Amino acid sequence: MMGAKIEGPLLESMLELAREGHPREVFLLLRGRVRGGCVELEDFLIPPLAVSGRGFAEFPIHLLPIDFSIIGTAHSHPSGSPTPSPDDLNNFYGLVMMILAYPYSSSNSAVYNRRGERIPLRIIEGEKQTRGRNSGFRGL
């Protein structure tokens, strides 16, 4: 996997949810696809019965519907560190994990692979419209 890309408005929607949830963590499921070795992040969902608090966010994985477009997760780090914790790595789901760190800007956002290695994140402005942008975020 060479990197990840996301449209600016989609990333901004995710960052806004993290700001609204602060100081609690926010947890999201990422939808997208892999094309040419690059992970294309296209949408996000709030998982069913997600619970979050200071320093944690979780959801019952057995309640997820079968959805092969879910390729990873995103969650906020109110502490300000965009580095995954051991718990983050032990509970890794999918191909990628995105961390949105305080103060919740694109420069404080990072994407990691299953080995905990940071992969390049490219923010795309002004290309095709994402599926979830006009309707806002959706729960399952």
Q: Does residue 136 fall inside a structural domain? A: no
Q: Kindly report the pTM of this predicted structure.
A: 0.84
Q: Does residue 50 fall inside a structural domain? A: yes
Q: Does residue 61 fall inside a structural domain? A: no
Domain containing 118 equals 3-55+68-126
With 60 as the cut, is the pLDDT of residue 139 above it? no
Q: Does residue 137 fall inside a structural domain? A: no
Q: Does residue 101 fall inside a structural domain? A: yes
* pLDDT value of residue 62: 78
* Total tally of structural domains belonging to the chain: 1
**For 49-86, b where at least 16 C-beta lie within 10 A, e where not — what string?**
ebebeeeebbbeeeeeeeeeebbbbbbbbbeeebebee
* pLDDT value of residue 137: 43
Q: Does residue 135 fall inside a structural domain? A: no
Q: Does residue 75 fall inside a structural domain? A: yes
Contact 84, 116 (CB under 8 A): yes
Task: Measure the CA–CA gap between 87 and 12, rounded to whole angstroms.
Answer: 26
